[in-house]
Structure 1
Amino acid sequence: MSIQLEKYKAGHWQPATGYKYFMPAKINDQWQWNDAQLNTLLEKASIRLGELNSYARLVPNIDLFISLHVTKEAVVSSRIEGTQTNIAEAMLPEEEITPKRRNDWKEVNNYTNALNEAIKGLEKLPLSSRLLKQAHQRLLSGVRGEHKLPGEFRSSQNWIGGSGPADAIFVPPAHPHVDALIGDLENFLHNDQINVPSLIRIAIAHYQFETIHPFLDGNGRIGRLLITLFLVDQAILHQPLLYLSTYFEKNKSHYYDNLTRVREKNDMLHWLKYFLIGVERTAQEAVDTLSKIIKLKQDLENNIHQHWGKRTQSALKLLLRLFVQPIVTVKDVQGICQLSKKSAGELTESFQKSGTLVEQTGQSRNRIYYFVPYLDLFKG
């Protein structure tokens, strides 16, 4: 038995009391197709991922740059769900966030922590329901959705859009089916008895996860996290540097329409092409960003070596930290460089005059400085 992509049936609508829910077909099987364009898109996406891996190996101190990629993913993936926090704001301490923005800030920081912990968790756990549940628990801790079974699959019906399942845009499978469907998805991801390319595998799995909608809240963010976790788990990515949320967010309706098209028209082929184009473009953008980061770092280091005299070592130490912690106060600079308050203030002022740091508060006290040239590279 195998699934012929062009003849794929996504599932069927199952009657319930007062509404119908969608029961997806299981996916753990050999997939085959005849469409030559899909092979071409798969090849292009794979080549771009290989380039990203190769480029990342050449970057000194690659760990310095991963944290901002993760923060950007947390911001964008959360923004798809309606939060308003930007990347600079996400990196501020909580006490600097206005009360009306604090809930959004917490959601984004929860996602950052969930993502980081899940990636680290892959060192001890396989990509599994257990790992996703742990990430989900962290995601909903102390924020909107904290009462919607954090860390547990749902035990009731959920729906997307509308006031209830009767007038919803989409109704996922009833909760008694969730464990079996997720088990099938998990088996598909790890099934070494079938020959399904990894990028095709995770594209199908992401669609299936969003269709199952196993949690009461947070499904979109966990489903997008699943993509990166799988690529890292399979050693397709050696560093967590590829996130598709920006691609999905550029035209959210297109993303949702493509998922819906699978369910309504059985058109998995169209979804796979959309997904592979996203991988290719996103990998290229990641390479471009890394290239710009390397150039920025080299240019700033060269300038410091040439013009900063006796403060060179302190300036280089601060610059290195700014690539990890791109928002600082004078007190931070004191600790980073082991300087007096006066010397730290003077060093910060010099960074400000050179355009490396930009003060954003406009205050005379408790001033906060942003490493704007670096942060700007992640705005796109």
Structure 2
Amino acid sequence: MNQPLFHINPDRNKPWNDLPDLPIHPDLYRTVEVMEQLANTKSALGRLHGRSIAIPNQGVLINTISLQEAKASSEIENIFTTDDELYQAYSEEGEDVSIKGAPKEVLRYREALWAGHQHLMDHGTFDMDYFIRIYRLVKQTNDGIRPSSAHIYIKQGGTGPNAGTAIYTPPRGKGIIEQKLQNLLEFVNDDEKYPIDPLIKMAIAHYQFEVIHPFRDGNGRAGRIYNINILTQKGLLDLPILFLSRYIIDNKNDYYSHLASVTQRAMWERWILFMLKAVEVTANLTFNKINDIISAKEGILEAIQGDTKIRKSEMLVQMIFTQPLTKVSHLTDAKIFAENTARNYLNELVELGILEKRTISGHHYYLNLELYRILSE
């Protein structure tokens, strides 16, 4: 009798300690449909990669695209903030200002995304410290892998008769979570032993991380950071700027349904197709946003140089495109202009219709209208 290619979880109320180690059998995903989607996804991601590395100053992407990714990923966990609240909080980051609530949660995610990227730049490969560092930044906690005594299970949401019941119970027990994570780390890191296309490897690794569920909370956000960090670690992107969570939030029910279908019915093909499509769609979305931002930046610089006598116009435009809300102190702290000059120039851009002056909680901000529009679309 033939053995099954993948052992599913037989009882959602019991810890899945028999979760199969990686790799999975290639027959579970090596289909014509997956290979066709993989080609489309690699093409879109390659185009984004080529566009992003051609930009002279990548601070525009670092501070805007990754902030939108953080916002979308947090929304998947029902952490909502408005663009205005988020941009205000980001403009105050690093100053002696208390940032609270949902904006703080989103900024934590962005910090963790870049900390993960830096960890890989420093160490080259994923390790247990990577996972713990990401989790601690996302949750602002000092604990680590959940102890075997923590009886964690995934609950049915909503308000129906099954609300609150277990739909999945992750592995637990002495050393079990650690062993599963070590297997996952080897699978992702060792491309000679596991010569699988990195995009397919990312999809498999994301599923495995989520079902291991190594932490008390924050696993969803940590797993989505892991996705993007895999893409940079494998050289598919230079910077973690893919707007990947936008697709997941737009298709949230499918995301969770496909995760469950692997656990309950070994439907790996559907899951991998979903993740590949997510990368393709968001690579195209990110590519278009980058082009729109660069075009707007060039157009505004041309207008300033043609219609004003503003000095250091290129540096000024760079600053107002680094984030949607600019303050006088951003320009003075960067030692570009003295305070009065900075204020006068920003007000001059308001008169030109490039910026909009806003007063929030008694503080003055200058909103880049075109950048705000592009990021909000």
Distance 1:45 1:340 in 2: 48
Q: Alignment RMSD, CA only? A: 2.8
CA contact (8 A) 2:8 2:262 kept: no
CA deviation profile, 1:344-369 (whole Å, cap 9, x unmatched): 33212111122222223377x52222
Percent identity over the alignment? 24
**Secondary structure of 1:158's partner?**
coil
Cα drift, residue 375 of structure 1: 2.5
Higher relative contact order (CA 8 A, sep 6+): 2
Show structure 1 runs of 4+ deviating over 6 A: 94-97, 163-166
Aligned equivalent of 1:350, options 314, 334, 348: 348
Aligned equivalent of 2:41, options 42, 45, 52: 45
Instruction: Kindly report which structure 2 residues correspond to 1:312-323, keeping only aligned pairs within 5 A, or say none.
Output: 312-313=311-312, 315-323=313-321
Cα drift, residue 94 of structure 1: 7.9
Cα drift, residue 237 of structure 1: 1.3
Task: Specify the alignment match of 2:367 in structure 1.
Answer: 370
What amino acid is aligned across from residue 67 of structure 1 in structure 2?
A: N
Task: Specify the alignment match of 1:183 in structure 2.
Answer: 182
- Summarize the Cα distance change of 1:367–1:133 in structure 2 as closer, same or farther, 3 Å threshold: same
1:203 paired with 2:203, answer yes
Instruction: Kindly report which structure 2 residues correspond to 1:71-82, keeping only aligned pairs within 5 A, or say none.
Output: 71-82=67-78
Cα drift, residue 150 of structure 1: 3.4
Distance 1:182 1:167 in 2: 26
Distance 2:221 2:360 in 1: 35
- Summarize the Cα distance change of 1:340–1:224 in structure 2 as closer, same or farther, 3 Å threshold: closer
Cα drift, residue 330 of structure 1: 3.2
Distance 2:90 2:286 in 1: 29
Task: Specify the alignment match of 1:122 in structure 2.
Answer: 120
- Summarize the Cα distance change of 1:10–1:375 in structure 2 as closer, same or farther, 3 Å threshold: farther
CA contact (8 A) 1:159 1:168 kept: yes
Distance 2:286 2:341 in 1: 37
Distance 1:165 1:326 in 2: 41
- Summarize the Cα distance change of 1:103–1:175 in structure 2 as closer, same or farther, 3 Å threshold: farther
Instruction: Kindly report which structure 2 residues correspond to 1:111-190, keeping only aligned pairs within 5 A, or say none.
Output: 111-125=109-123, 126-141=125-140, 146=141, 150-155=143-148, 156-161=150-155, 167-176=165-174, 177-190=176-189
- Summarize the Cα distance change of 1:332–1:234 in structure 2 as closer, same or farther, 3 Å threshold: closer
TM-score (norm 2): 0.87
CA deviation profile, 1:195-253 (whole Å, cap 9, x unmatched): 31111111011011111111000000000011111111111212222242111001211
Instruction: Kindly report which structure 2 residues correspond to 1:283-302, keeping only aligned pairs within 5 A, or say none.
Output: 283-302=283-302
**Secondary structure of 1:216's partner?**
coil
1:262 paired with 2:259, answer no
Instruction: Kindly report which structure 2 residues correspond to 1:82-93, keeping only aligned pairs within 5 A, or say none.
Output: 82-93=78-89
Task: Specify the alignment match of 1:212 in structure 2.
Answer: 212
Cα drift, residue 58 of structure 1: 1.9
Instruction: Kindly report which structure 2 residues correspond to 1:86-105, keeping only aligned pairs within 5 A, or say none.
Output: 86-93=82-89, 102-105=100-103
CA contact (8 A) 2:5 2:25 kept: no
Distance 1:200 1:251 in 2: 19
Cα drift, residue 31 of structure 1: 2.4
1:27 paired with 2:27, answer no
**Secondary structure of 1:215's partner?**
coil
**Secondary structure of 2:126's partner?**
coil
Distance 1:39 1:316 in 2: 45
Distance 1:79 1:113 in 2: 16
CA contact (8 A) 2:153 2:170 kept: yes
**Secondary structure of 1:367's partner?**
strand
1:64 paired with 2:57, answer no
Q: Which runs of 5 or more residues in structure 2 are unaligned? A: none
- Range moving further from structure 2, 30-39 or 64-73: 30-39
Aligned pair count? 362
What amino acid is aligned across from residue 367 of structure 2 in structure 1?
A: Y
Distance 2:206 2:360 in 1: 44
What amino acid is aligned across from residue 154 of structure 2 in structure 1?
A: I
CA contact (8 A) 1:114 1:138 kept: yes
Distance 1:100 1:84 in 2: 18
Q: Which runs of 5 or more residues in structure 1 are unaligned? A: none
- Summarize the Cα distance change of 1:95–1:70 in structure 2 as closer, same or farther, 3 Å threshold: closer
- Summarize the Cα distance change of 1:300–1:308 in structure 2 as closer, same or farther, 3 Å threshold: same
Task: Specify the alignment match of 1:233 in structure 2.
Answer: 233
Task: Specify the alignment match of 1:251 in structure 2.
Answer: 251
Cα drift, residue 277 of structure 1: 1.0
TM-score (norm 1): 0.86
Task: Specify the alignment match of 2:306 in structure 1.
Answer: 306
Cα drift, residue 103 of structure 1: 2.2
Task: Specify the alignment match of 2:10 in structure 1.
Answer: 13
- Summarize the Cα distance change of 1:186–1:241 in structure 2 as closer, same or farther, 3 Å threshold: same
Distance 2:353 2:73 in 1: 30
Cα drift, residue 312 of structure 1: 3.6
Cα drift, residue 83 of structure 1: 1.2
Cα drift, residue 95 of structure 1: 10
CA contact (8 A) 1:228 1:243 kept: no
- Summarize the Cα distance change of 1:272–1:94 in structure 2 as closer, same or farther, 3 Å threshold: closer
